[in-house]
Structure 1
Amino acid sequence: MSPSSKALTLVTPIQPGKVKELDALLSEIGEDITNKTGRHISFSQLTTVHFLRWVILPEDTEGARHYPPQLAFESNYDGPLDAHLEELIRVGGPMLARIYASCAGCPDDVAGSVESFKRFLLRYQLPAAAFYRGYPNHTVRDVLDNTLARRAIQDFLDDPKRAATLRGLKPEQLCEQLQKYLATVPGLKLERACPPPPSRLDRFVRRLMESTPIQLAVGIPVGLLLLPVLAPAVLMLMWKEARDEAEPKTEDVVDPRVEGQEDYKVQNQLTHLVEVRPGWFRQLTLRTVLGGINFLARHYYNQGHLGGIPSIHFARWVIIDGGRRLLFFSNYDGSWERYLGDFIDRAAVGLTGVWSNTRGYPKTRLLFGKGATHEEEFKQWTRDHQVFTQVWYSAHADESVRNILQNVAVCAQLKTQLKSQEAEQWLLKL
């Protein structure tokens, strides 16, 4: 069974002279999400969306290449793509028409011509080279229901009127009282499908990643078989890295609006855009590393952490502009500083393997070495290539990945009759 959550990325060219007008409109929509007035788009009516954003990728005329301004859209959604697009158009039709009127080739009547508008959008769809999900088998509805149930449980336990009644109850009796109470909470659905068990491939990859003897038993013969290919690749990589020059930079180029939109909630977001180093070798290396991350994100890093980082809801890398630039979207918990710190401490190897193939990245060794471990350089490079995000929406903005998965664990047993020891263990999760 495939994961319920999926990724949609659209990168659309903006008409000449329309950037300023589009920036103003999107900024209004973004501020409206915070103010919760719903004047522009009633985001709360979206039932398939975990996160979405619109961001203008600004014109870039530096260097040998010219990149015109583009509008990027990304969503993390549940269910079929067709149903997701139809819901977006139904909920935000008039505003979508205004947004995409600034883009070349948009149909005039969006709401009245759903099929032609879907065709227009899908013309600019790009696949994610790597896509990570923090809770891959849980829909928006699951997350919201589990959060509601957890809050109801907390209200029940914190109610001073019940304190005398609950005092002295055995764990299984307390659980029984809780279950009776939850059955009376309006709008609370305790019936939910169990997530699918790990596939054979998932189990095999997990054993391979976590068992040193198996890693050696498999790795040595595979390494010997691949030696005729790996040796030239390593030599080519060493030659390339020796010739990589530091990108000239006279000053930091951070958009002052970027930091102003961070650290208001439990969650944060990051949009990052950087140019890929030229040449077929870098292209092949980048796509190979991203393919490996995508495989592991699907079959190993599918338990709520990416490389040991437990704060990422969804993240993706998308190769755009015919392979010349790499776009990265992330939805994460905590501050920017802590997020980057986690990357450096826990996932520097994977990060460096990806971004060592892009311009300006701190000096690396053999693709995976150094790079992100140059902490100050890495953080400044990240800031310099971070893009201001005009619109960012989260369906469950007050919930961390840890809370969401904890709520899943709590609610999974709500419909079962718990014995004494099981009830004790369940209550400890609260």
Structure 2
Amino acid sequence: MSSNALTVVTPIQPDKVKDLDALLSEIGEDITNKTERHISFSQLTTVHFLRWVILPEDHEGKQYYQPQLAFESNYDGPLDAHLEELIRVGGPALARIYSYCAGCPANVASSVESFKRFLRLYQLPSAAFYRAYPNHTVQDVLDNTQVRRTIQDFLDDPGRAADLRGLKPEQLCQEIQKYLATVPRLKLERDPERPLSRLDRFVQSLMESRPVQLAVGIPAGVLLLPVLVPTVLALLWKESRDKAEPKTQDMVDPRVEGQEDYKVQNQLTHLVEIRPGWFRQLTLRTVLGGINFLARHYYNRGDLGGIPTIHFARWVIIDGGKRLLFFSNYDGSWERYLGDFIDQAAVGLTGVWSNTRGYPKTRMLFFKGATNEEDFKQWTRDHQVFTQVWYSAHADESVRNILQNVGVCAKLKTQLQSREAEQWLLKL
């Protein structure tokens, strides 16, 4: 079972924006307090992360954007089952939320099928979607975390310290395995590691091979010269005409910074207008298509272009191709996260956002841009959107911990030798 992405963007009745903001903010604060007065989020079994965000009314030059409600979830299994669970767990609250949206049927509160049709009507595809642990369900993550915590409790028990002191690594592993076998309700039977597909293995071996692959690339490059040359010239011409955008710092919702850097995990919602013209549209969609392919078949082992702190991320093109919406669920601080962008993935991400307005000056699509650290961070902040509701099913676990837990549980049934036992214990 793999994890998937759902994005729903619905128009809001303009005179209901403040009321909807108040309701969603109340729900968002309720998650933190764990009272779950509106929605019992803990009853959701298929959801890793979800959020509701109001995309405010906006004027970009001659362009007007009406207020919209964006919902995104990262979920396990088929979409139909996910929607049915959302409605079953939070039906009344969902009906109230979407009653502020234009076109919401009056009977959604009493009809699951009507509600599903309404949400599907405004569903948008992801132009690129990244998952750090694509084949591990919410239940896998929770079960593996419970196993690791049980092992830690065993090792930290003062009453066992004398018995465990002086044991060799392989002997200590055997004692841990014996103890786990006596603990009720621990799920140890599933194989927590999922094999890679043939395509995944092929793409990974190809991406990790030495640059001797140029022997294959040169003929293709020669054949593509008639296309590449005019494309490069057009790109250079476009970039030479890109104008600096006025700063919008004062327009940033002051609540944005208040919801950052206080948990193991944090989130970011980012919305920016795409540069006009078919050339930019084609370039953006091509780059996002490449990222989506690599995220599915290569960057599926816990890092996106060298960034090891992102759980899920996606880019969605909205408003008929006029704006680019970005959702990310990540570990650590905002500063560290943006720093990872700059240090590890500046080329790929510049390839995306160089096609949007206000992005720091780029060269040849992929270069400069994000490496201008001060301007990049300010541009990111300028286009962030306050997230009213954000939920994580495993909020205390980093990507690194989740993947280490997979490695721990993968060896629970194995008789480990000395070196293997040492490496296994280090994962704890």
Q: Taking structure 1 as the reference length, what is the TM-score of the superposition?
A: 0.97
Cα displacement string for residues 40-71 of structure 1 (whole angstroms, at most 9, x for unaligned residues): 11100000000000000000124111100000
Between Structure 1 and Structure 2, how many residues are aligned? Answer: 428
Alignment partner for residue 416 of structure 1, among 399, 414, 417?
Answer: 414
Rounded Cα–Cα distance in structure 2 between residues aligned with 1:267 and 1:333: 4
Rounded Cα–Cα distance in structure 1 between residues aligned with 2:382 and 2:422: 50
Rounded Cα–Cα distance in structure 2 between residues aligned with 1:119 and 1:416: 48
Code of the aligned partner of 1:178: I
Rounded Cα–Cα distance in structure 1 between residues aligned with 2:357 and 2:81: 39
Rounded Cα–Cα distance in structure 2 between residues aligned with 1:145 and 1:82: 25
Secondary structure in 2 matching 1:156: helix
Shift, 1:137, TM fit: 1.0
5 Å-filtered alignment, 1:172-251, equals: 172-249=170-247
Cα distance change of structure 1 residues 256 and 296 upon mapping to structure 2, 3 Å threshold: same
Secondary structure in 1 matching 2:83: helix
Code of the aligned partner of 1:180: K
Q: Percent identity?
A: 85
Alignment partner for residue 353 of structure 1, among 344, 351, 361?
Answer: 351
Residue 40 of structure 1 is matched in structure 2 by 38
Cα displacement string for residues 234-266 of structure 1 (whole angstroms, at most 9, x for unaligned residues): 010011001111113375432110000011100
| Contact 2:192–2:409 under 8 Å retained in 1 | no
Cα displacement string for residues 300-350 of structure 1 (whole angstroms, at most 9, x for unaligned residues): 111100010100000000000000000000000000000001100111101
Secondary structure in 1 matching 2:10: strand
Rounded Cα–Cα distance in structure 2 between residues aligned with 1:171 and 1:342: 35
5 Å-filtered alignment, 1:271-282, equals: 271-282=269-280
Cα displacement string for residues 89-109 of structure 1 (whole angstroms, at most 9, x for unaligned residues): 000000001000011222334
Shift, 1:110, TM fit: 3.1
Rounded Cα–Cα distance in structure 1 between residues aligned with 2:36 and 2:83: 20
Shift, 1:4, TM fit: 0.9
Shift, 1:198, TM fit: 2.1
Cα distance change of structure 1 residues 285 and 250 upon mapping to structure 2, 3 Å threshold: closer
Rounded Cα–Cα distance in structure 2 between residues aligned with 1:369 and 1:169: 54
The answer to whether 1:164 aligns with 2:157 is: no
Rounded Cα–Cα distance in structure 2 between residues aligned with 1:178 and 1:336: 38
| Contact 1:89–1:110 under 8 Å retained in 2 | no
| Contact 1:90–1:111 under 8 Å retained in 2 | no
Residue 25 of structure 1 is matched in structure 2 by 23
Alignment partner for residue 115 of structure 1, among 106, 113, 116?
Answer: 113
Rounded Cα–Cα distance in structure 1 between residues aligned with 2:403 and 2:36: 29
Rounded Cα–Cα distance in structure 1 between residues aligned with 2:136 and 2:336: 26
Task: Name segments (4+ residues, structure 1) moved above 3 Å.
Answer: 193-196, 249-252
Shift, 1:210, TM fit: 1.8
5 Å-filtered alignment, 1:15-414, equals: 15-249=13-247, 252-414=250-412
Rounded Cα–Cα distance in structure 2 between residues aligned with 1:198 and 1:160: 41
| Contact 2:249–2:382 under 8 Å retained in 1 | no
Code of the aligned partner of 1:213: P
Code of the aligned partner of 1:376: E
Cα displacement string for residues 119-152 of structure 1 (whole angstroms, at most 9, x for unaligned residues): 0000000000000001111110010011100000
Code of the aligned partner of 1:156: F
Code of the aligned partner of 1:351: L
Rounded Cα–Cα distance in structure 2 between residues aligned with 1:30 and 1:17: 22
Shift, 1:183, TM fit: 2.4
Shift, 1:421, TM fit: 3.6
Unaligned runs of 5+ in 2: none
Rounded Cα–Cα distance in structure 2 between residues aligned with 1:355 and 1:171: 49
Shift, 1:111, TM fit: 4.4
Shift, 1:194, TM fit: 4.6
Secondary structure in 2 matching 1:11: strand
Code of the aligned partner of 1:181: Y
Shift, 1:79, TM fit: 0.6
Secondary structure in 1 matching 2:206: helix
Bigger mean CA offset, 80-89 vs 168-177: 168-177
| Contact 1:208–1:214 under 8 Å retained in 2 | no
Shift, 1:196, TM fit: 3.6
